[in-house]
Structure 1
Amino acid sequence: MVAQEYSLTTALPGPASQALHSRRAAAVSSAVGATLPVYIDEAGGGILRDVDGNQLIDFASGIAVTGVGATDPRVVERVREQAGKFTHTCFMVTGYEGYIEVCEQLNDLAPGDNEKRSALFNSGAEAVENAVKIARSATGRAGVVAFDHAYHGRTNLTMALTAKSMPYKSGFGPFASEIHRVPMAYPYRWPGGVDQCADQAFDAFVEAVHVRVGEENTAAVILEPIQGEGGFIVPAPGFVARLAQWCTDNGIVFIADEVQTGFCRTGNWFASEYENVVPDLMTTGKAIGGGLPLAAVTGRADLMDAPHSGGLGGTYGGNPIACAAALGAIETMRADDLVERSARLGKLLTGRLEDLASRYDVIGEIRGRGLMQAIELVSDREAKTPDAKTTAAINAAGHRRGLVTLTCGTFGNVFRFLPPLVIEEDLLSTGLDLLDEAFAEVVGA
């Protein structure tokens, strides 16, 4: 594995990365974004080594994908072994044990002691699409309720579920029908204040569904237990549990989208566990595959078995190599207790962010759990005016220093921190030192 040491040998991007970026411009659609124009030659742990030999600190994990690192030994060995046997057969044509074993692991890990089933897909968006299909098939209803600030994917249906227009939806409509949006329990920006957020947001949700959709017409409510692209919004305490119970009371399927929050990221296996919520259906992806494309829907056996035979599937869903990688990743999560590690390193991260906030008024709020945390930047703490310009400038300053960070949020003013769960503590601290330097450069010491 690449040495776990931060070092820069060139300005970023270096000449080899610049050459590759020129080739990219000539060959790749400009519609595919580029957060940081450096090109990686080797990666592992908390380090990304680029083609110029620079060793960058990874605070992004490929958008929460490489939780166990990019070269986890168990993942690498299982992938190597499986690739030597066969790369594909299509599980719907001739099956294989790996697919079954991944489903068994998911059924065991998912919240609740009820009987469960799983089905495997290629991406988080595909998992969400299939969760909606399952809910509609099981209930015979069409309506699906999603929230402000939500992000569920880039396919047609998941774009309809996603709240933010740019860059995800603008110019790509019309979108799927029978999608209804309701207010999110966003404590920092709730008009009635933090203390009133859970009660008022829940009341607003109930009224909106009753008036706009009708409970009897609603197949599912879908929620990220911590919203991802929308700004790492942690719902007000009690909101998720009340939402799930309301769904049960009205025969509506509660879908927890754990694609970004799942697999130890928040200091629990799944973020739903913080309120002891057992989702009817749960979507997972990203970190499940240890870096390979894999996603899943896991849920109540009666719901998962509701669609007709052949109604779920896909050519590549549950590819044998991706399944092998997932089994290696889950083995590492269990063996190395990445739940505990995420919670422990999360406390270090929180402490450093709190220190930053004590020195920089531009930080309006720190939020998140485990190694899924964020800071929201504002130009006025009292007015909570979003400050996307300063956010972008600090992000660029960090990038110049070799710190790979991502921004997010409906207003473009949130830093999200998603380091690999296996990052070494010293390296995490070094990355936060670089972030501190970036703040000092842009905001002033």
Structure 2
Amino acid sequence: MTSVDMRTPEALADAERWTAHNYHPLPVVIASGEGAWVTDVDGRRYLDFLAGYSALNFGHRHPGLIAAAHAQLDRVTLTSRAFVHDQFADFCHRLAALCGKDLVLPMNTGAEAVETAIKVARKWGYRVKGVPDGQAEIIVASDNFHGRTTTIISFSTDPEARADFGPYTPGFVTVPYGDLAALADAFTANTVAVLMEPIQGEAGVLVPPEGYLGGVRELCDAHNALFVADEIQSGLGRTGRTFAIEHEGVVPDMYVLGKALGGGIVPVSAVAANREVLGVLKPGEHGSTFGGNPLACAVGAAVVRLLETGEFQARSAELGDRLHAGLNALVGRGLQEVRGRGLWAGVDIDPALLTGRQAVERLAERGILAKDTHGSTIRLAPPLVVTADELDHAVAQLAAILAAG
């Protein structure tokens, strides 16, 4: 194919012309996908090592999930929560059981689920704990990423996400991630919850020190506060367990879920908790027109059925060991550090060698799609359907760009 025949430059120019510049995408225009692979408008194939920030845990167009969506599209797609539809109870029941919780509140996006958790934690604090009205505090971690609403960015420590969007919502106390002593000092009588990612994704796939999440659980118990685990990226099989927090044997009071819950087909998110927590909400106090719609519930239930077998969790654990072994072999050969669990890795490239952006651009030239974050760090998160050979191929391409410098 000659450069004259290529469609990519024109498609990129059109996107640049007609959209707000809130992203800086790689110069790749995807037209189709299957499993761990995508194909661009010019027919070039790429191995997807981003998986939609874990929204595509089960790969592109997973046959079982596509079948569930097709079947529901032929029946009914939206009713609003003014009525009950026949997919709702099955989805909520299955997801509650997967989480080991009594109740589920479905929403659409991850940010909506985080906002839901914040509202529930505050109301629980006022109605159950007895915090004075308007005084509830939620403790969060530095370098967090929980979404981009004005309330959520109010407690972000990333200037890029926060600057120029004030005034900011009060009621949040920030402590260093992984520092139990600082967390203990932050609790007051008005603390209603601790909201944290068990592994921080946007920050570079940061895994907390061993025992940290257990310590968070103990402090929440001691101060009668809720532990809210944001498993939007880390959950649903990504780290080799259903939830990343399970690696420490910890059970939070609330799970915040999203991304992979929609199977890469529709936005689906949810909060799961026991009745004494989610039960504080009454009709009219919180809702969503599209939250828990029939199409979302049909796809979400199919996702949960995939996870009920444990196959994807085991696959992520086994292949994750292979991925991390391959990446750790490159430490000292262009890589400075590798972090993560399961099929999720944060890779720090020697900044004297390449920036993160340069690295992902060169990987894309070699047919591997990944994403940079914070300088010379790149994130790798292939779909859980990736094969061992595909993992080895991607690591070999990374090794090649590091050797080329």
TM-score normalised according to structure 1 size: 0.85
What does residue 154 of structure 2 align with? 160
Take 1:280 and 1:323, find their aligned partners in 2: how far apart are those partners?
Answer: 23
SS of alignment partner, residue 240 of structure 1: helix
SS of alignment partner, residue 357 of structure 1: coil
What does residue 109 of structure 1 align with? 98
What does residue 20 of structure 2 align with? 29
Q: Indicate whether 1:252 and 2:225 are aligned.
A: yes
CA deviation map 1:20-65 (0-9, x unaligned): 111112221122x132122211101110111100000100001111
Give 1:311's aligned amino acid: E
What does residue 15 of structure 1 align with? 6
What does residue 368 of structure 1 align with? 340
Indicate if the aligned counterparts of 1:107 and 1:118 stay in contact, CA closer than 8 A.
Answer: yes
Take 1:95 and 1:389, find their aligned partners in 2: how far apart are those partners?
Answer: 54
What does residue 130 of structure 1 align with? 116
Indicate if the aligned counterparts of 1:47 and 1:58 stay in contact, CA closer than 8 A.
Answer: yes
Q: Indicate whether 1:407 and 2:398 are aligned.
A: no
SS of alignment partner, residue 69 of structure 2: helix
Give 2:177's aligned amino acid: M
Take 2:382 and 2:240, find their aligned partners in 1: how far apart are those partners?
Answer: 13
SS of alignment partner, residue 133 of structure 1: helix
SS of alignment partner, residue 146 of structure 1: strand
CA deviation map 1:219-252 (0-9, x unaligned): 1110100001011110000011111111111111
Take 1:324 and 1:308, find their aligned partners in 2: how far apart are those partners?
Answer: 25
Aligned pairs (5 A) from 1:291-370: 291=264, 292-335=266-309, 337-360=311-334, 363-370=335-342
Indicate if the aligned counterparts of 1:49 and 1:55 stay in contact, CA closer than 8 A.
Answer: yes
Identity %: 31
Q: Indicate whether 1:59 and 2:49 are aligned.
A: yes
Indicate if the aligned counterparts of 2:242 and 2:307 stay in contact, CA closer than 8 A.
Answer: no
Give 1:286's aligned amino acid: K
Aligned pairs (5 A) from 1:209-248: 209-210=186-187, 215-248=188-221
Unaligned runs of 5+ in 2: none
TM-score normalised according to structure 2 size: 0.93
SS of alignment partner, residue 97 of structure 1: coil
Indicate if the aligned counterparts of 1:263 and 1:269 stay in contact, CA closer than 8 A.
Answer: yes
Indicate if the aligned counterparts of 1:10 and 1:52 stay in contact, CA closer than 8 A.
Answer: no
Deviation at 1:358, TM superposition (A): 4.1
C-alpha spacing 1:311/1:389, structure 2 compared with 1 (3 Å): farther
CA deviation map 1:294-315 (0-9, x unaligned): 1000012110011222222110
- Aligned pair count reads 396
Aligned pairs (5 A) from 1:34-183: 34-90=24-80, 92-110=81-99, 112=100, 115-140=101-126, 141=131, 142-166=136-160, 168-183=161-176
- Between 1:115-124 and 1:234-243, the stretch displaced more is 115-124
Indicate if the aligned counterparts of 2:229 and 2:255 stay in contact, CA closer than 8 A.
Answer: yes
Q: Which runs of 4+ in 1 moved over 3 A?
A: 333-336
CA deviation map 1:251-283 (0-9, x unaligned): 111100000001000000001111111111110
Take 1:35 and 1:427, find their aligned partners in 2: how far apart are those partners?
Answer: 23
Over the aligned positions, Cα root-mean-square deviation in angstroms equals: 1.9
Residue in structure 1 matching 2:380, options 394, 417, 421: 417
